[in-house]
Amino acid sequence: MTVGQIPEAATRPRASARSGSAPSADLPRTSMTARRQRAFYMFTSPWVIGFLLLTVGPMAYALWLSFTTFDGISPNWRYVGLDNYRELLSDPVTWDSLSRAGVFAITSVPLSIVAGLALAVLVNRPLKARGLFRTLLYLPAVVPPVGAGLIFKQLFNRDSGAANGVLDIFGIDAIAWLDDPYARYVILMAVLWAAGNVMIISLAGLQDVPRELHEAARIDGASAWRTFRSITVPLLSPVLLFQAVTGMIASVQTIMPLLIAAEPTPKGVTAIPQTNYMYMMHVFAEYFALGRYGYASALLWVLFVLILIVTGLIFKFTSGVVFYNVDPEAKK
Amino acid sequence: MRPHAGAPLSRRRFLSLSAGGAAAGAAALSGCALQVAGAASGGGGESITVMAELNDLGPELIQQAQKELGIRITVVKNDITRLIAMITSGNPPDLVRGLGALDAPYFAARGVAENLDPYFAKSSILKVDDLDPANDLWRYDGKTQGNGPRYGMAKDFSQDAMFWYNTSHFDKAGLAYPSETEPITYEEWLDNAKQLVRRKNGQTTVYGGSYNGLGLGILFTNLTAAAGGSLFSADFSRVDFTTPEARRALAWYVDYAKTRVGPSLIQPNPDAWDGPTYVANRMAMSGNGYWLGGMIYPEPKVAPVSRLAPAPVFEGGPRLSSCQSATGLWMPKKARNKDAAWRVFEWFFGEAPAKARAEGGWGIPTLKSLRPLMPDKEAYQQRVLKTQQAELEHFSVTPFTPYIKWDALEALINQVIPAAMRGEISVDILAGRLNSTVNEQMKRGKEQVG
């Protein structure tokens, strides 16, 4: 049975029902359709209920909070309308932290995609111990962010870190890696260290590229670079788009600066070096250090809307360059 | 119209059913939350929930409480966000860990803490005349800390401006030991630290000294008092870092951080706090009170060469030696099992756990009657105890404001001060920025307290 047959079968009993006469031959089909729909809804309902309970509910609550001065404890909080939104528009910390998050996303996402893709191309080649390399390169991606933060914090500590230990061998003075202006590079390194995540998705994409296309290009005399540029990358473009979108969303919400902070606590978050004080650090500080639940909720809602807009723009501007390899028959 | 049994489920109906399911789920979850306290009571005997650190109330103490009191204790990890969630949902813990020096005015002014005076009045275990004055940090009369009803009690305390030093580092540097009876000045402390610090290729191998207090907010409150002033206005609604006393305190600390003689925001300690660094022989002086003895005494190499010195003073300033924490427990006003909570409170502060704490050296007992239990077997313990007992005469309460949570004050200072530590802004500019940012937050706090 093809996909195209389903609507035909599904519409007929409805028409019969509307006419008021239900031919007995259609009844099994009706119940089959209903059963299939019920099965669909039963399988999806846990997720939908979870989504309503754990996403829509808290978001609605945060939206309500964003119109108040609620701080969790004090008795005299009140409704302030759009005051929190007005305040954030004129708050230089909001814009500075947002622009830092933007710069971080623009830098880290392409770098990690390129690094991940390069690694994927490497481990897609017929190498000895290929499985071992794949495992080793992917390993950092499964390290929990808290663990990764601790590792980087210890590696780059000024007084006891291995990074300065290496410099010491060459007689070079210690560097305060976790302070400005170097702190931003440590964060970038932490992101690139976990590029195995991007690698594994790109590797799956690479293995889906039909081999005969590469063979045809080689017969036609195309160089390896030309083949990669004209065949591999276009066929991988949906995967790369997916990684760009999810990477962008994750990077503007990164909490890695907090994890490598001298004191990863609510009161310590504001001591994060200026270059790493990104939007989520500002949100975290407003929520948990200053107890400004209303203002922090407004900050989160603005971020949510901005992410929606940027995601929409990415889809719009990449629609002409992303190649979807869809079976034309299935599309009908 | 109700769809018949075989009819396909419409998307609208599916979504409304899902919403119903989600609402039922939410109700079920809140039911679970209620059972945290309620479930235990079904197990025979009473039950309470305590928000604490696991080292305050570990599994052994919980079992001991069940055995001795017949009360089952459920411990939830100390976390302000969780506390707020529990209070907001009308299901607060029965007892909550807190810092008397900083939390008492904040929670009392907001009406969420129970007045414990009636309980103390009836208690045969916690008698008011046996309470150490450090417990006054848990008192708040609606205007000032240190007077009025008691909202909690400290489990132990220290005079946190005192400092420990390791004589072996002083010997290596050829410096005279600080007096154990007379306070040195803050300037002398810093001079010593500059000579004690050891560096190699820009890396600090031995910190000359650490002086960060429990946090920068409470440190500046106390340093300003030691310089003869007050960080807060008379009604505690504003701070002023530009007064000569507050400026002197700021300048001293900025100098400390700038010279990188010890850990600070711009030179974080890889061990995160002084204890491990000091006992690893990598810190010559540590600005911590008596309680650090609990960590030092078990170290055979460090304990005999460690001494405790009085809180430093500023030249011309008063001799003050306050407590910056007074960590203990308070009872939320909406606690469900207040009588059982009070029984645990009495046991924790006046019976077996209190005696065990007093013997450990992890702080001065908060009941005067328990002081004889403080460790004094070794010569170095007797020496430390003598210094500590003399220092108690200089104990005083430095009141804190109810209009800002202490970690909020800390966060705001942390945001502004690194630039001064790096020498990018002057102390005067720092003082102005601190006034502006802290007073804005305190204004909001005052509005909300009413």
**Confidence at residue B103, expressed as pLDDT on a 0 to 100 scale:** 95
Domain count, chain B: 2
Q: Which residues of B touch A50 (CB under 8 A)?
A: 22
Does the residue B28 lie in any domain? Answer: no
**Confidence at residue B360, expressed as pLDDT on a 0 to 100 scale:** 86
- The CATH number assigned to the domain holding B217 equals 3.40.190.10
Q: Is B89 part of the contact surface with chain A (CB cutoff 8 Å)?
A: no
B64 and B189 both lie in a single domain? no
Which secondary-structure segment (H or E) carries B145? strand B145-150
B169 and B279 both lie in a single domain? yes
B153 and B245 both lie in a single domain? no
Q: How far is B22 from chain A (nearest CA, A)?
A: 5
**Confidence at residue B8, expressed as pLDDT on a 0 to 100 scale:** 57
For chain B positions 19-38, those within 8 Å of chain A (CB to CB) are: 19, 21-22, 25-26, 29
Residue with tokens 């999806």: A44
Q: How far is CA B431 from CA A12, B252, B255, in A?
A: 79, 13, 14
Q: Is B301 part of the contact surface with chain A (CB cutoff 8 Å)?
A: no
Does the residue A77 lie in any domain? Answer: no
Does the residue B7 lie in any domain? Answer: no
Size of interface A-B (CB pairs under 8 A): 139
B319 and B330 both lie in a single domain? no
Q: DSSP for B289-353, please give it.
A: -GGGHHHHTT-TTTGGGEEEEPPPB-TTS------S--EEEE-BTT-S-HHHHHHHHHHHHHSHH
Beta strands in chain A (DSSP E): none
Phi and psi angles of residue A128, each rounded to the nearest 5 degrees, phi first = -75, 145
Say what the pTM is.
Answer: 0.83
A182 and A51 both lie in a single domain? no
Does the residue B421 lie in any domain? Answer: yes
**Confidence at residue A263, expressed as pLDDT on a 0 to 100 scale:** 79
Which secondary-structure segment (H or E) carries B52? strand B46-52
B167 and B257 both lie in a single domain? yes
For the stretch A209-221, pLDDT in tens is: 888 998 999 899 9
Does the residue A74 lie in any domain? Answer: no
Domain count, chain A: 2
Q: How far is B114 from chain A (nearest CA, A)?
A: 14
Is the peptide bond between B59 and the residue preceding it cis, with omega within 30 degrees of 0? no
Does the residue A73 lie in any domain? Answer: no
**Confidence at residue B312, expressed as pLDDT on a 0 to 100 scale:** 97
For chain A positions 127-186, those within 8 Å of chain B (CB to CB) are: 154, 157-161, 164, 167-168, 171-176, 178-179
B197 and B263 both lie in a single domain? yes
A233 and A271 both lie in a single domain? yes
- The CATH number assigned to the domain holding A198 equals 1.10.3720.10
Does the residue A78 lie in any domain? Answer: no
Q: Is there a contact between A158 and B203 if contact means CB atoms under 8 Å apart?
A: yes
B316 and B332 both lie in a single domain? no
B130 and B264 both lie in a single domain? no
Q: Are A75 and B450 in contact (CB under 8 A)?
A: yes
Does the residue A75 lie in any domain? Answer: no
CA distance B441 to B444: 5
A92 and A60 both lie in a single domain? no
B179 and B291 both lie in a single domain? yes
CA distance B226 to B216: 15
**Confidence at residue B395, expressed as pLDDT on a 0 to 100 scale:** 93
**Confidence at residue A22, expressed as pLDDT on a 0 to 100 scale:** 47
A49 and A167 both lie in a single domain? no
Q: Is B412 part of the contact surface with chain A (CB cutoff 8 Å)?
A: yes
Does the residue A313 lie in any domain? Answer: yes
B79 and B186 both lie in a single domain? no
B232 and B318 both lie in a single domain? yes
Full domain range(s) for residue A318: 84-331
**Confidence at residue A8, expressed as pLDDT on a 0 to 100 scale:** 44
Does the residue B20 lie in any domain? Answer: no
**Confidence at residue B391, expressed as pLDDT on a 0 to 100 scale:** 97
**Confidence at residue A26, expressed as pLDDT on a 0 to 100 scale:** 57
A152 and A31 both lie in a single domain? no
Does the residue A175 lie in any domain? Answer: yes
Residue with tokens 């020496």: B383
Does the residue A189 lie in any domain? Answer: yes
A56 and A179 both lie in a single domain? no
pLDDT tens, N- to C-terminus, chain B (450 residues): 344 444 556 666 666 666 666 666 555 554 444 333 333 333 457 899 999 998 889 999 999 999 999 999 999 999 988 999 899 888 999 999 999 999 999 999 999 999 999 999 999 999 999 999 999 999 999 999 999 999 999 999 999 999 999 999 999 999 999 999 999 999 999 999 999 999 988 889 999 999 999 999 999 999 999 999 999 999 999 999 999 999 999 999 999 999 999 999 989 898 889 999 999 999 999 999 999 999 999 999 999 999 999 999 999 999 999 999 999 999 999 999 999 999 999 999 999 999 999 998 889 999 999 999 999 999 999 999 999 999 999 998 899 999 999 999 999 999 999 999 999 999 999 999 999 999 999 999 999 887
Full domain range(s) for residue B433: 163-323+396-449
A138 and A13 both lie in a single domain? no
Q: Which residues of A touch B405 (CB under 8 A)?
A: 291
Query: What parts of chain A have a pLDDT lower than 50?
Result: 1-23, 332
**Confidence at residue B7, expressed as pLDDT on a 0 to 100 scale:** 55
For residue A277, the chain B residue with the least C-alpha distance is B415
Does the residue B4 lie in any domain? Answer: no
For chain A positions 292-331, those within 8 Å of chain B (CB to CB) are: 292
A94 and A241 both lie in a single domain? yes
A163 and A277 both lie in a single domain? yes
A309 and A200 both lie in a single domain? yes
Q: Is B334 part of the contact surface with chain A (CB cutoff 8 Å)?
A: no
A219 and A324 both lie in a single domain? yes
A210 and A325 both lie in a single domain? yes
Can you give the three-state secondary structure of B411-444, one letter per residue? HHHHHHHHHHHCCCCCHHHHHHHHHHHHHHHHHH
Does the residue B22 lie in any domain? Answer: no
B143 and B96 both lie in a single domain? yes
Q: Is there a contact between B408 and A289 if contact means CB atoms under 8 Å apart?
A: yes
